[in-house]
Each structure stands twice: as C-alpha cells, then as structure tokens.
Amino acid sequence: MTVLEKINNPQDVKNLSVAEMNELAQDIRDAILNRVNTIGGHLGPDLGIAEATIALHYVFDSPKDKFVFDVSHQVYPHKMLTGRKHGFVDNARLHEISGYSNPTESEHDHFVIGHTSTSVSLATGLAKARDLKGENYNVIALIGDGSLSGGEAYEGFNNAAELNGNMIIIVNDNEMSIAPNYGGLYKNLAQLRETNGQAQNNVFKAIGFDYYYVEEGNNVEALIEVFKKVKDTKKPTVVHINTLKGKGYDPAVADKESYHWQVPGFLNPQEAAAPTETYTSITKDFLLNKKQQNEPVIAITAATPGVFDFNPEFRAKMGANFTDVGIAEEHAIAYASGLAKNGAKPVLALMSSFVQRTYDQMSQDLALNNSPATVLIYWGGISGADMTHLCTFDIPLISNIPNIVYLAPTNKEEYLAMLEWSYNQNEHPVFIRVPAAELVSTGKPDTTDYSKLNKYKLEQSGEKVAVIAAGNFFGLGEQVRAEIKNQLGFDATLINPRFLTGVDTEMLESLKQNHNVVITLENGEINGGFGEKVTRFYGNSDMKVLNFGSKKEFTDRVPLEELYNRYHLTKELIVKDIKEVL
Amino acid sequence: MTVLEKINNPQDVKNLSVAEMNELAQDIRDAILNRVNTIGGHLGPDLGIAEATIALHYVFDSPKDKFVFDVSHQVYPHKMLTGRKHGFVDNARLHEISGYSNPTESEHDHFVIGHTSTSVSLATGLAKARDLKGENYNVIALIGDGSLSGGEAYEGFNNAAELNGNMIIIVNDNEMSIAPNYGGLYKNLAQLRETNGQAQNNVFKAIGFDYYYVEEGNNVEALIEVFKKVKDTKKPTVVHINTLKGKGYDPAVADKESYHWQVPGFLNPQEAAAPTETYTSITKDFLLNKKQQNEPVIAITAATPGVFDFNPEFRAKMGANFTDVGIAEEHAIAYASGLAKNGAKPVLALMSSFVQRTYDQMSQDLALNNSPATVLIYWGGISGADMTHLCTFDIPLISNIPNIVYLAPTNKEEYLAMLEWSYNQNEHPVFIRVPAAELVSTGKPDTTDYSKLNKYKLEQSGEKVAVIAAGNFFGLGEQVRAEIKNQLGFDATLINPRFLTGVDTEMLESLKQNHNVVITLENGEINGGFGEKVTRFYGNSDMKVLNFGSKKEFTDRVPLEELYNRYHLTKELIVKDIKEVL
C-alpha cells in the first residue's frame, strides 16, 4: 500500500513521519505523471510543489485555514491530499476532477482559478472579511511559477501589505515562468536565492512584508520548520521557497519549458509526424522573413510562447526582435503601442482567453492612440475547455472598441494578405483572429486592399437566404449552403465578412433585393458579438435575421459536439431554424 | 513682461538663469490657477511639478528626447513650455488646449493619455523601438501622484528593467494619490524620503534600476544637477523626486485631496447651497446604516473617493469597513470577490471610465465564481468629456460577461431596492448603474423581487410602438411617449427594463400582439450594448426595432447637445425615425 493510498483528507497527512511524507511526495509525483500521461495537463509546476503542499497541510488546518492556489498550475498535489486522489490514480475517474482549483469539488478550494496573478488579491479579500467578522485563522496564498509578473499580483501585494493581520504569501520560486522568467522582479528573486535570502535589496521587505527564505523548497522538514514559524502570524508575511520545477522526472527538469504542460502519451512519444504547414508555422515564417530583411519587426508574447510555437530556436533567430514580457498582457499592449508609435513593427500574439487580461490598454493605450500595432488572437472559438480557459469572449471584448480593426481570415492566403497589410499600414490598431483550425489554402494569392474597411466578400451568389460566415466558421457556412441546396433546392448566398468590427452597409442593403433571411455564423459569444451588428442594421426592414454563435455562459469541459448541438451550430440544425422563418 | 510670456518653446527655457526659472515656475502656477479657476481641471499635481518640468526641458531636448507624462495629471507646465501657454493665460483660448497629453496639439506629446499607470509601459515601447532602429536619445516617463499603484505600472517597471539601454523614470513622489496613498509601495517611498534615498530596502534597486533621490523636488538647481547626471544613461534609471502637491497655493497644500481637481470659480467660492439628496448621498446613507447595524459591510474605492463623496468624514465613520485600494481596479474586483466569498458585504464604487481597467477580474475572479459582491458604476452615459474619460463603454463591457447581473435603476426607490436586494443576496455578482442624473423620487417604495432576473417593468400600456428606456434615459423615454401622442395621436407603450444583462422574453413576445415597432434607449454605446439583445430577439419576427445610443467612437469634448443630435437622442429625432418605419 502506498502512502497516498492511506491519505483521504489533510488530517491523515498530520500523522505521517518525515520518511512517510517523502514517500508520499514520490507517490504524488507518480500520480501526476499518470494523470498527465493519460489526459494531459500541467506537469512541471505540479511535480515541483509536492513537498511544499504536504508541508502546508501538515502545518496548517485546511479548510479552516484557507489556501488560495494561484493560476492552479500547482494545485494537483493539494487535490490529492483533499479527497480527490481518484482524479490522479484511477484512470476511469480522471475526468471527474478538473485541472484547476474548484470549490464545487471540495471545501478545501475557495475559488475557481485558472487565470494568473489573482491569488493575493483574492486572499486579501478572504483575510479582510475574516478580520471584519472577528474570526481567527490563517489565509495563505501560493503564488509563483511566473504568476508574479502580472499587475494584479502586484496590486494584491501592495494592498496585502496594508492588512494589519495574518496573511501569508508563499512565493514558489521555481526559477521559471511557463517559459524562462523575465523582468526586474525575477532579478531580485535570483539575488535572494544567491544570498540565501539575505540580499540587501529585498522587494518584499521593501513593500512591508515580513520575509522568510527556504533554500531547500523540496525538503519537507525545512518547509515545515518555517511554516510553523509563520503560522498564526499577525503580520503580512512572505515565505520565499526555492523549488525545482519538474522534480522527479528528469526530462521535465532538463527542459522546464516543454514540460510545463504535456499531452497524453508523452511518456512514450510516438515518432513526430512530418511537419505540416499550419497557421502557426506561416506566422513564424512571416516574422522571420521580416527580421531577415532587417525590418524593425518585433514579435511579442506574454509568457505563452509555446502557444504560438515561438520555440527557443525561433527566439534565437529573432534575437532582439523578440520580447517575452512575462505574464503581463496589459504591458504587452501598451508596449506594442509605444513600439508602433516610434516606428517599429510590433506583432503581439495572445490567446483569446488571455486577451481578457487587458481591456483598458486596448482601448486607451492602443485604440485611442490609433497605434498601428498588429495583435494576433489565437484559439478563438468554442471548445470543450475548462471554464477558466474559454475562448469565446474575444469578439464582444475587442470588436466594440472604437478604432480597432478586427479581421477574421478564413484561409491561408487571406490570413497572409491581412498580416502583410496590417504590418505595412500606419493608420489602425489591427487584430487578426488566427483561425483555430487546420490550414486551408485556396492556392490563389489574396490581393484585397484591406485599407477599405468593412468590405465583405461575396463568395457565392444566390437567393432567398444569405449566409454570413465569419472566420473559422466559414466552412460551416459552406456546409449550410450545400444543405440548403440539398433540402430546399435553391442556391443561397454565401458571404465571408472578413471584418468583425463593422458591417458592409452597401452589401447588406443589396441583399434586400432578393433575400428574405440573413444568418450570421461566428465562433464565439453572440451577445455583443459580430452578428448582432448585422441584425441591428436590418432592424428597420423586413429582413429576418438569425444569429448563431455561443450563448452567454461559462461552460466547463463540455464536449464540443454537445455545445454545437446546444447552440444549433450544425448544418442540419441551422437549416431547420432557417426553414422556420422562410 | 513675465518670464512665461517669453517662452515659446523648450529652447527658450534653456537660456534662462536659475532666478528666471524660479520666476517662470511662479508664472506657471499663476497660469494654472487662472485656467482651473476659469474652466476647471487638475490643480494640486500641476502646481507641484512646475520646477521639475522646467528642469526637464532645461536638461533634455524635447521632442528628440521623449517625455511621457503618466495620467496627464501633471502635464500643464509641460504644455505651457511647448507652445501652448495660450491654453492657460488667454481666457478666450483655454478650450483650445485639452487637459491631457495630446499629440495632435504638439510634437512634444507622444500619446493621448488620461488613464493611469501607463507611462512606463508606453515609454518602454518607445525606447525599444529606438534601440531596434539604432537611434540615440533619452526616453523619460514621468509617473507619480498615485499612479504607481496600478498593475500596468508595475508590469512596465518590471520590463523596463530588462531594457538594456536608456530609460529614465521620474517618480514624482508628492506623498499623495488623488486621496492619501495606500499600499506597501508607498511605505517604501516614505522610508526612502526619511533616509534621503538611503533606506536599505529600495524597491527600485531591488528590481534592477539605478536610483537617484532628489529631496528638494521643487528646487530647480537640485533637479537640474541630477537630471544632468542621468541624461544619456545607458541603463534603466529611476529618479525619485519629492515634490509638494499644491505648492504655491496654500489651500491646495493644506487640503491636497480636495484640491487635486477643482471646479471653475474655486478661488472665490460661493456659499454652498443647502445639501440636497443625491444618488451619492443616499448611497452613503445606505452604507453608514449597515455599518451602524454592525453588518460586515465594506465600502471600497480605487483612489477616487471624491467621485462618490466618500469624504474624510464618511471614511472616519466607516473605519475598518472602508478600503481605498489605490489606483488598482483589478485588485479591487478580486478583493471584493474574496470578501464576498468569505461572508463580508463588499460594495465597490467605480467610475464608468475606470471600470475599463478591469475586465478579466470581473470575468474570472468575480463572475466565474458567482461572488455576491455589489459594484456601483457611476457617471455612466454620454457626456462632453475629454476622449480619455468617456463613460459610454461600460454596458458592452460588463453586460456580455456571463453570470453578472447589471441593473439600471431609474429613480431613488428603485435604486435603493436594487441596492438592498444586491446586498442581501448570495447568488450573483451585481452591478448597478447609479443614475448619472438628478435624483428622481416616486415617493413609493419599490417592492420588486429582483431575484427574478430579467423581468422588465411595464410602466405605461399602449399600442403600435413600444419604448424600452433604460436607466437614466427613462426620462427621455417618457418624453418620446408624449411626443408620439402629440405628433401621432396614440399612446405608445413605455417599458423600464431595469436589467441590462438579459431580455424579458415573455414581455417582448407579448408586444408582438399589438405593436409594430420597438425602440430601445440606452445611455451608452449601442454596439454590443443592451438594445442589440432586444433586436436579436425580434430577428425572426416582423417587429421593426430601432436602437438608440452612442456610436462606436471616441469623442473629444464635444458638447452634449451636439452628441444628442448626432445620435438622434432627442424626442423629435427619435419620433422622426419612428415615423419612417411605422
């Protein structure tokens, strides 16, 4: 029987010897490897935090004492110690447990958390409520693995320091973000590591925290000793622990970036398929080509270079023409605005879910200044993702900001033409929704002049019904047109809008001549999205308009097929809806 | 002739003696007082920065060297020295110059800036573009007056530290935000002031900056000496200057908070009118009442207590039940979420324009967690404001986030009923758009059960046309109804939707019986707003729908009447539009 098998709740951890705890850490790591190898997930950060999580549960009393795990990259061991080990060891039940902090799973989780740099702010709220109610327990935020670089973390630290009471922040310093750390703060962490916590300049002390350093952040005894010291402190306190990302699995220690997250089957990788052209690869080629021409191009990521395959080789080739700003999307947008205003050519890549972390900067720093930066939005669309990582909100978020041009290419040639246009123009901030789909090529270069804004493309002429199908739902639009022909016997009109930020009033007006129904298809939330602008255009006319997209809701790991059915995003359901209004 | 009269560009500053520069500082202050007393504006921060601005222009060579003035609270002296003094001394021309950094006014301004904490990020972009292009000059960000507390500032510092080149950040430490400073960082600034910059813990050194301290931040000679030292530095450098907010006008020194911004005529104030009941006053009464009942209420502001009249007297009465988190809206939302989850009753007040500074926190920290916090949005609506302070975007921003309930009260009793409901319930994050209008009272308590979401209120039954008038446009709806009677001779239906986050499908369905036209009125951007949801509902029907609100655009100090005409927001223009579709 493994030690983990004996652990059903945190109380069980308190009865272990140090030797058993070390065994438990190994059991936890085996379980992490099992889960990630079976269904994918965060690997390196979870492997590194096993001992610290054990020590936390040994010293503190969850759920009375409250843990807040930042970004949830490091929450797996905590889940295993709080009644959820079946989500890691029982391969039939892995999907019962999410990869993120989740109060519906356990009273030991206090928030749904999946975006980064939030723990200290959330914990400060818990602690202040405790104090207002005259209660007495520890509130512990565990932050790290790169999540220190986000502005919300800093705002949280700044205000936690003012809290005249117990608040313990564990800074898990594994010397990494998702990719290598970047930024002044990490220099200070390095100094502190080098001096065993004694460096003269200490950013945490500077802003008012008591400070403890644990050099051996994977040593349960060392951790327990310090956690006992700070337990029940009456002051805001930082415990800086130096852990090894990927500990226990050598490849993950050797290549921390690649093993931050892994896919099913990584333990026995198949031979890699021959590389094929993707939207990601042609983007990289575009950027490298500009660099080779000595253009002032600058590729920017906010700590997720892997999402765009900005791998070390690409970064080396780009050299000074690449910046990873860390998890700092607000800065990334403002930085891009400054670059563009001073004649450089920034191309910033962001995941749809993470562009949410910057709105005011898109509006004030970028759009109000009409800075001609290019921002690429990846992964936009409906998916079966965890509720913390949905990518359905970027169209409502971005497309209602004045001055921004948001483009939705449907194929390779269109995408490259849009990218080239955006790169060369100096009038607009341009966002491009890189198709979250396999690459489609027409084989014919796109010679459209995109400086003529909001001009839709009539792809197929027809009658009665016009299908306006945006971005990676263009293929669905083609299917719907075929299904209309099949079921109703006539040719519908098919339109590729290309622009998400405005309507082609001329084309929409012309549709009135021989159409009764217009439908819009967009791969994201309908509320506030692209389609509603079309509907509003027709509000004073007899045209019937149906908008298709996702509902305003947070979905949690719902299979894509189920969502498509729920939202009527199949050719059959769409044609059924059309028939009802024809 | 004053010295200011002789200054037409920065070059003229370079020829002045120290005595003349001191005279110039006084001239600048006189001009600031003249402008603010005539048309209102930022007072204290501009008075305090006169000498530093003179010294900057004396040492550096704008526009080759590039200044970025954070939040523009301190940009008036810079404007006067760069060809725009007529905007301060010539009372016929004051309105020609905005109160904010603005490149269309001068080549010495590089960005439109009005929101806070952006300068370091923007300047980092300028500096990096300079380096990529192999150019050589100074980039100087001037930050302070509270703007250090925003997360974007921290992200900027963190990344500026990595810039292997010239980047000078002037930290204008006037010991104040808009209200008194709050947060750990400000403790460090205080330590640094107390030790003449020698404190062991130095947050700027800690994250990798060279650091200089100028104790006499209103002494041009001392400033010039240090600015000369850092000019052309090859390293990211902080110059921390200690200035006196309000200098030269004693009341502004004595009461820094009240004189941060002032209204026309403040130099000769009229006797205050007897206090009347306002939405602000009844909000304060509500909060104080909860506090007196020993409820775990907590009022929160993000550095703009004055906007909500959370004055020192109110704050003293609230005691520990009040937090000013500083300019840190992201933290404010997450903090409120944490408070609500732990049983406290947070009521966070934000200006519409500044709620833009937090989207991901509204979505992830608050909405995804369904934390029952109350957020009050003030000043929402179309106005003649500067383009940096528009309040027209909050409905599209907030109302498309799942789980949030966004309410738009139309009168006192409705507002108080909504506030009381929100305060007591535990199911939803609730936002309330506090009417930016004079208080309207029906005299009858509102007994609506707001837990029944998205139930509109039928205020007046009628036929043919239904007017759905939200929030502080309800009065306009009443006018439209009267005008329809007047011009068309029938009674229209008048509906108060109360909910901005959903449609009352039952009521909308019932309107089909005897109405041909529905119009929606909302005081904000139509794109992505409330009205489009109504239009989408009717997309499959014969109902004509017209949406009224503001266009997707940044307007800059355009008179309200002109905007109302542009957007057809008068009863006459609306009825004209209705007649065209009837």
Structure tokens at B531: 């009205």
The residue that leads in pLDDT, A182 or B530, is B530
Residues B121 and B155 grouped into a single domain: yes
Range of the domain at B66: 3-262
Residues B182 and B293 grouped into a single domain: no
Where residue B272 falls among pLDDT bands split at 50, 70, 90? Answer: confident
Tens of pLDDT, residues A525-566: 999 999 999 999 999 999 999 999 999 999 999 999 999 999
Task: Please indicate, yes or no, if residue B440 is contained in any of the structural domains.
Answer: no
Chain B residues in contact with A206 (beta carbon < 8 A): 184, 188, 191, 201-203, 206
Q: Do the chains contact at B149 and A162, CB–CB below 8 Å?
A: no
- C-alpha–C-alpha distance, residues B546 and B496, integer Å: 16
pLDDT at B145: 77
**Statement: residue B177 has pLDDT above 60:** no
Chain B residues in contact with A165 (beta carbon < 8 A): none
Where residue B144 falls among pLDDT bands split at 50, 70, 90? Answer: confident
> Which whole number is the average pLDDT over B244-263?
93
Residues B177 and B314 grouped into a single domain: no
Among A360, A468, A555, most B C-beta atoms within 10 A, so best to mutate, is A360
Among B102, B104, B158, most A C-beta atoms within 10 A, so best to mutate, is B158
**Statement: residue A179 has pLDDT above 80:** no
Selecting from A161, A393, A539 the residue whose C-beta is nearest the C-beta of B546 gives: A539
> Which whole number is the average pLDDT over B532-553?
98
Q: Do the chains contact at B111 and A533, CB–CB below 8 Å?
A: no
Residues A39 and A142 grouped into a single domain: yes
> Which whole number is the average pLDDT over B326-338?
96
Residue B310 to residues A162, A396, B323, Cα–Cα distance (Å): 20, 33, 11
Tell me the count of A-B CB pairs closer than 8 A: 407
Selecting from B122, B298, B325 the residue whose C-beta is nearest the C-beta of A365 gives: B122
Least confident of A527-531, B188-192, B215-219, B366-370: B188-192
Residues B254 and B284 grouped into a single domain: no
**Statement: residue A339 has pLDDT above 80:** yes
pLDDT at A180: 65
Chain B residues in contact with A516 (beta carbon < 8 A): none
Nearest CA to B144 out of B258, B68, B56, B230 is that of: B68
Tens of pLDDT, residues A261-318: 999 999 998 887 777 999 999 999 999 999 999 999 999 999 999 999 999 999 999 9
Residue B204 to residues A316, A345, B213, Cα–Cα distance (Å): 30, 30, 11
Task: Please indicate, yes or no, if residue A266 is contained in any of the structural domains.
Answer: no
Selecting from A207, A356, A364 the residue whose C-beta is nearest the C-beta of B363 gives: A356
**Statement: residue B176 has pLDDT above 80:** no
Residue of A nearest to B363 (CA): A356
Q: What's the CATH number where B239 sits?
A: 3.40.50.970
CB contact at 8 A, A413 and A444: yes
Q: Do the chains contact at B343 and A129, CB–CB below 8 Å?
A: yes
What's at B69, amino acid-wise?
F
Q: Do the chains contact at A206 and B202, CB–CB below 8 Å?
A: yes
**Statement: residue B382 has pLDDT above 90:** yes
Where residue B181 falls among pLDDT bands split at 50, 70, 90? Answer: low
Q: Do the chains contact at B335 and A125, CB–CB below 8 Å?
A: yes
The alpha helices in B356-473, defined as continuous H runs, are 360, 394-399, 412-424
Task: Please indicate, yes or no, if residue B441 is contained in any of the structural domains.
Answer: no
Residues B99 and B229 grouped into a single domain: yes
Residues A229 and A150 grouped into a single domain: yes
Q: What is the mean pLDDT of chain B?
A: 96
**Statement: residue B178 has pLDDT above 60:** no
Q: What's the CATH number where A528 sits?
A: 3.40.50.920
Q: Do the chains contact at B114 and A581, CB–CB below 8 Å?
A: no
**Statement: residue B274 has pLDDT above 80:** no
pLDDT at A181: 64
Tens of pLDDT, residues A382-409: 999 999 999 999 999 999 999 999 999 9
Q: Do the chains contact at A158 and B356, CB–CB below 8 Å?
A: no
Chain B residues in contact with A113 (beta carbon < 8 A): 364
pLDDT at A272: 76
Q: How far is A29 from chain B (nearest CA, A)?
A: 29
Residues B288 and B428 grouped into a single domain: yes
pLDDT at A457: 98
Residues A27 and A175 grouped into a single domain: yes
Q: Does this complex have an ipTM over 0.90?
A: yes
Chain B residues in contact with A205 (beta carbon < 8 A): 201
Task: Please indicate, yes or no, if residue B438 is contained in any of the structural domains.
Answer: no
Task: Please indicate, yes or no, if residue A254 is contained in any of the structural domains.
Answer: no
Q: Which of A230, A246, A262 is the last residue of a domain?
A: A246
Residue A512 to residues A464, A498, B301, Cα–Cα distance (Å): 9, 21, 51
Q: What is the mean pLDDT of chain A?
A: 96
Residues A240 and A97 grouped into a single domain: yes
Q: Which of B198, B228, B262 is the last residue of a domain?
A: B262
**Statement: residue B269 has pLDDT above 90:** no
The residue that leads in pLDDT, B73 or A273, is B73
Residue of A nearest to B527 (CA): A400
Q: Do the chains contact at A335 and B535, CB–CB below 8 Å?
A: no
Task: Please indicate, yes or no, if residue B270 is contained in any of the structural domains.
Answer: no
Where residue B469 falls among pLDDT bands split at 50, 70, 90? Answer: very high
Among A68, A117, A135, A155, most B C-beta atoms within 10 A, so best to mutate, is A155
> Which whole number is the average pLDDT over A93-106?
97
> Which whole number is the average pLDDT over A357-364?
97
**Statement: residue B563 has pLDDT above 80:** yes
Q: How far is B156 from chain A (nearest CA, A)?
A: 6
pLDDT at B270: 83
Where residue B393 falls among pLDDT bands split at 50, 70, 90? Answer: very high
HEC profile of B521-540: EEEEECCCCHHHHHHHHHHH
pLDDT at A543: 98
Q: How far is B144 from chain A (nearest CA, A)?
A: 15
> How many structural domains comprise chain A?
3
Residues A396 and A462 grouped into a single domain: no
Chain B residues in contact with A162 (beta carbon < 8 A): 182-184
Q: How far is A554 from chain B (nearest CA, A)?
A: 6
Selecting from B206, B298, B528 the residue whose C-beta is nearest the C-beta of A203 gives: B206
pLDDT at B179: 57
Q: Which of A246, A268, A296 is the last residue of a domain?
A: A246
Q: Is the dihedral of CA A287, A292, A298, A301 positive or negative?
A: positive
Task: Please indicate, yes or no, if residue A546 is contained in any of the structural domains.
Answer: yes
Chain B residues in contact with A540 (beta carbon < 8 A): 544-546, 580-581
3-state SS, residue B515: strand
Residues B530 and B461 grouped into a single domain: yes
> Which whole number is the average pLDDT over B438-462?
97
- C-alpha–C-alpha distance, residues B521 and B534, integer Å: 11
> Which whole number is the average pLDDT over B548-567?
98
Q: Do the chains contact at A328 and B400, CB–CB below 8 Å?
A: no
CB contact at 8 A, A197 and A211: yes
Q: The whole model's pTM is what?
A: 0.96
CB contact at 8 A, B366 and B350: no
Task: Please indicate, yes or no, if residue B447 is contained in any of the structural domains.
Answer: no
